[in-house]
A and B are shown apart, each in its own frame.
Chain A
Amino acid sequence: MTLSDYERDMEGCSRCASCKWVPFNQMRSWRFAKNCPSITRYDFHAYSGGGRMLMGLSMVKGRSELTDEVADIIYRCQLCGACDTACKVYRDDIDLSEVLLELRTTCVEQGKLIPEHMMVIDSLKREGNVLGEPKAERGAWAHGLPVKNINNEKADVIFHTGCRYSYDRELWPTLRGTVKLLLSAGLDVGIAFSEESCCGGRAYEMGFRGEAQNYAEDMLSRVKASGAKLIVTPCADGYAHFRYIYPRMGKALPVEVMHVSEVILHLVKEGKLSLKNEVPMLVTWHDPCHLGRMSEPYLPEWNGDKIMRTLDRKRAGHNGVYDVPRELLKFIPGVDLVEMERIREWSWCCGAGGGVYEAYPELCTFSALERIEEARSTGAEAMATSCPWCHVAFREALAETGDSFPVYDILDLVQQSVGLSPETSEEIQGGERK
């Protein structure tokens, strides 16, 4: 698909502005009524979902050119999908998120590249990850864990760690604890150590389709060779990309993909994990875009007039993962959940997605701080989430402002309740085991 293939979608925009706001039934205050970090920060219509489509339309109709300024606006967007969900409350014939993706690809095709994204792509090419870290160290986090190496052993479950978890040492205790839980519950888990690569989703979002395609193929062949029945990932980004972007590229994985929170809930319900310790805490839950609305599985393109598209073929964000973490929190004794105003399909983005973390740290910080303020307004003592990128966006925004507000991965709370103490960095020795 190309941008012009979405001309009817773009022309469909009535300019109703719904894409700038949480769905109106859910609007509870003046303060937290907005849904789009980009237009909230920059204010011109072009920064909203609808405004972005109209820039695309203007270019497709030959009324304007893709200039550096236009490309810059296109990139200042987390591809968080909040606009798409809001638009689809009313419309069946506009696929806003898809237009935003096509705009990115158009930029890349026309050579409108930005250095920060190029660095990510270079890093992907050189080291197979988006963080510029050495490929050889990708499995270092698993040092000493009794986990299989899928490069030379069969395992039922492939644990796809993702770039951020693999290299962010602050997240390693969470990650290692989680794998220990899976193993203790009897799962036959394997990882690819240094052979694991980025899922390629970030490249796709940045507009580099060819790169993304390569990583999808790499993943596909690894999965096929492993004979695994299930892929589990703690990375919400990867989860969404496997469920949506891979099939969109024609590279659907041949096995089931689960987010680790889904697996943990399953194990708790089956009695294989016991959440017995009190974790007395009033928490609020941040729905990561990639675990929520953006993880809704791919649906094939509708051929013909989308006005006639049936609801089961409309990707409107309702089939993301929303209830699983909430249910899991309920299982943890002592945890009380208090909701923010912008949740589920209309959740506010942390700011990190779509290449914004890499290229526009100021926009990322703005989004993250807005979310922390919302979390605080609930009276919660802490915010829980389940995406390493969200976690890092919050952590860095807080550090930048010298503010503090506890942010937990739900996996940390689970581990506390199970009674697993987090390992210290001294306990985690660097270096690959195998």
Chain B
Amino acid sequence: MKQTGPSLISPPIGDEAYKDLEEAVGPEFVTREPAVLDGYAWQPLWNEGPEMWVHRPIAVVLPASTEEVQAVVKICNKHGLKFKAICTGWGALAGPRCENVVQIELRRMDRILEIDEKNMFVVVEPHAIGGQVMAETMRKGLHTHIVSSGAASSPLASATSCVGCAPDGTYMNWSSRNLLGVEWVLPDGEVIRLGTLGSGDGWFCGDGPGPSLRGVLRGRLGAFGGNGVFTKCALKLYNWPGPPEPVPEGFLYDTELELPPHCKAYIMFFPDRKSLADATQAITVEGIGYNAFKPGMGSLLTMIVPHLLHKESWKKAKYLKKAIQAFNYQFLEVLATDSAEELEFQEAVMRDEVSKHGGFMMDMEHTGMAEMIFWTFVLSSNYPIFFKAAGMFITAYGQDESHHSMVMASPDGEKIKQKWIDRGGILDDNADSGIHFMMEESTVSHYEEPIEFDHRNPDQTRTIKPIEMEFTHMQAEHCMESGITSPVMRKMFGPTEGFYTKWQKGIGKIIDPRGCADDYLYNAEPVEGEPLPDDPAILEMTEKLADIATKMAWTEDGPLE
């Protein structure tokens, strides 16, 4: 797991292995051309830097079928190479994270194989992107859960391998919950089929009859490519009461298309954080909403008036900032219902809870923004806008816990953020931009602090790692669960979380005996003696985290106490 210097370039792939790859997928669909490979190594998003490159793959292959994926994986096993699957590839999660990785680009496996209207599921290949799946399912009165990376990303990647929450989770749940039958190429090249698919009964159930390994295949957050390659899966669909082929005018803020019957967008404001948490939880428990979330006022500003936030006058606009902050306890509800009665019921519940908690709500049609909000959220067409104001963004925190703990933790997040804004490290979005949304009728709630910065500016890039460490520290102090994707941190925190790392590693050894999957983000071991970054802020935070981890550690027989 050694890094090969600042440019992270592995030695070239051997001719014999390359020839085998060519035979497996056809010479046209393999490359080892350095400039082409670098298209997979440039990954500025979720990259802890300081460079924006990850490891350059030694080759990229474009398989067209499960059999070809299987052949590629077997070749990697034969030649002692690693492999990593990539779909859209938006973020360092998808690029190689160690040496000698063959990147398996799944673009040629992009079909929608079946839409089962009656049983409400769709069967997809990896590169059928969210926008395509949505367009086809909407024609049949059904909708697909899409995470907030939006319409470009792969529903299969999200469901099988990578997190899975989104504002539509209020109605369409977590990606992993929507996962039904799966076809999976294990890291040793064996193909297994899960759930009903494994017993020859079709795609409709992920848990059998037939092998049920849903927990193993992705755990809570996903294995980020570290458990092999998923080649097909079935995903649960939900009701779509709108038109079968919605075609708005415009692309983003210029979006124009009437709201469908019985559909609305509301914004509600509360006097304080507690009433926001109470009211929105109560509303969500009742099953209200199609897309619902607490936007940050700051995030809205980054989208609507990005230039303002770079100006000196904004920094000094003390009262304007305070005035904007006064609207921070807000919540957006997009309603899409089948009938006037249902809409009336949903509105009544909202009105009731909002007034009980001292808030007020507004039909967004009065603001002229209802159509834009409704359609860009329903079509997931808005998300890349996060990159407009500064060029890059990361999510600090990014946690999923109970709604109250998430909402009530956000002041701490805001404080950390403000500190780094004051140091000039990140874009000044008023530090009030915490985003929340709920899944599973509010049993899980997501919180994240988007941090916008210019990754082309080394002064800003340098701040990102310390900021992330500080957020991790806060999580640890609050005993929150954390999705840890670095081997060093996993080693530190494994003992605080039931030694999950050992279980994970144990499973890894069974399904990947030759260690061929690039599992850096999932269960790779830290490299002994790997130098820590020399940034004092990072070192200080690492020590603090180690302290906390020691205090919270269990023994292998149970808690320390």
Taking Cβ atoms with an 8 Å cutoff, the residues of A that contact B are 8, 11-18, 20-21, 23-30, 33, 39, 43-46, 50-51, 54-55, 57-59, 63-67, 69-70, 73, 89-93, 307-308, 310
Choose one: B129, B310, B388, B455; the contact of A21 (CB below 8 Å): B129
Q: Is the CB of A17 within 8 A of B152?
A: yes
CA of A66 to CA of B33, assembled, Å: 10
Q: Is the CB of A25 within 8 A of B248?
A: yes
Q: Is the CB of B35 within 8 A of A16?
A: no
Q: Is the CB of B151 within 8 A of A45?
A: no
Residue contacts A-B, CB under 8 angstroms, 26 given: A11-B44, A14-B44, A17-B153, A21-B129, A24-B379, A25-B250, A28-B247, A29-B136, A30-B112, A43-B107, A44-B39, A44-B105, A45-B36, A45-B39, A45-B60, A54-B38, A55-B36, A58-B34, A63-B38, A65-B34, A66-B35, A69-B36, A70-B33, A90-B384, A91-B388, A307-B389
Q: Is the CB of B36 within 8 A of A44?
A: yes
Asked if B10 is an interface residue, CB under 8 A from chain A, the answer is no
Q: Which residues of A contact B44 (CB under 8 A)?
A: 11, 13-15
Query: Which residue of B has the minimal Cβ distance to A11?
Result: B456
Choose one: A12, A25, A30, A63; the contact of B255 (CB below 8 Å): A25
B477 to chain A, nearest CB (A): 32
Q: Which of B86-94, B160-168, B441-449 binds A?
A: B86-94
Q: Which residues of B contact A39 (CB under 8 A)?
A: 107
Q: Is the CB of B35 within 8 A of A46?
A: yes
CA of A59 to CA of B33, assembled, Å: 12
Q: Which residues of A contact B34 (CB under 8 A)?
A: 58, 63-65
Query: Which residue of B has the minimal Cβ distance to A62?
Result: B7
Given known A11-B52, A11-B455, A11-B456, contact A30–B39 (CB-CB < 8 A): no
Q: Is the CB of B36 within 8 A of A16?
A: no
Residue-wise, chain B 352-392 has the 8 Å CB interface mask toward A (1 for contact) of 00000000000000000000000110011100110111111
Given known A54-B39, A55-B39, contact A45–B105 (CB-CB < 8 A): yes
Q: Is the CB of B310 within 8 A of A44?
A: no
Q: Apart from A21-B131, A24-B151, A25-B379, what are 9 other A-B pairs with CB-CB below 8 Å? A: A14-B391, A17-B88, A18-B152, A24-B150, A25-B375, A25-B381, A27-B151, A29-B136, A89-B384
Given known A25-B381, A26-B247, contact A33–B135 (CB-CB < 8 A): yes
Q: Which residues of A contact B252 (CB under 8 A)?
A: 25, 89-90
Asked if B275 is an interface residue, CB under 8 A from chain A, the answer is no
Q: Which residues of B contact A46 (CB under 8 A)?
A: 31, 33, 35-36, 39
Residue-wise, chain B 93-135 has the 8 Å CB interface mask toward A (1 for contact) of 0000000000001011000100000000000000011011111
Residues B126-158 near A (CB distance < 8 A): 128-129, 131-136, 150-153
Given known A27-B151, A59-B35, A63-B9, contact A16–B105 (CB-CB < 8 A): no
Asked if B79 is an interface residue, CB under 8 A from chain A, the answer is no
Given known A58-B38, A59-B35, contact A44–B62 (CB-CB < 8 A): yes
CA of A92 to CA of B247, assembled, Å: 25
Q: Which residues of B contact A66 (CB under 8 A)?
A: 35
Asked if B29 is an interface residue, CB under 8 A from chain A, the answer is yes
Taking Cβ atoms with an 8 Å cutoff, the residues of B that contact A are 7, 9, 29, 31, 33-36, 38-40, 42-45, 52, 56, 60, 62, 88-91, 105, 107-108, 112, 128-129, 131-136, 150-153, 245, 247-248, 250-252, 255, 306-307, 310, 375-376, 379-381, 384-385, 387-392, 454-456
Q: Which residues of A contact B387 (CB under 8 A)?
A: 14, 16, 90-91
Q: Is the CB of A21 within 8 A of B152?
A: yes
Chain B CB within 10 Å — which of A13, A15, A39, A70 has the most?
A15
A30 to chain B, nearest CB (A): 4
B135 to chain A, nearest CB (A): 5
Given known A14-B44, A90-B384, contact A73–B376 (CB-CB < 8 A): no
Q: Which residues of A contact B245 (CB under 8 A)?
A: 28
CA of A239 to CA of B343, assembled, Å: 52
Given known A33-B131, A64-B35, A70-B35, contact A45–B89 (CB-CB < 8 A): yes
A423 to chain B, nearest CB (A): 41
CA of A46 to CA of B250, assembled, Å: 28
Q: Is the CB of A15 within 8 A of B45?
A: yes
Query: Which residue of B has the minimal Cβ distance to A33?
Result: B132
CA of A49 to CA of B150, assembled, Å: 19
Q: Which residues of A contact B132 (CB under 8 A)?
A: 27, 29-30, 33
Q: Which residues of A contact B306 (CB under 8 A)?
A: 92, 307
A424 to chain B, nearest CB (A): 43
CA of A45 to CA of B103, assembled, Å: 12
CA of A24 to CA of B246, assembled, Å: 12
Q: Which residues of A contact B307 (CB under 8 A)?
A: 307-308, 310
Q: Which residues of A contact B380 (CB under 8 A)?
A: 24
CA of A65 to CA of B36, assembled, Å: 11
A45 to chain B, nearest CB (A): 4
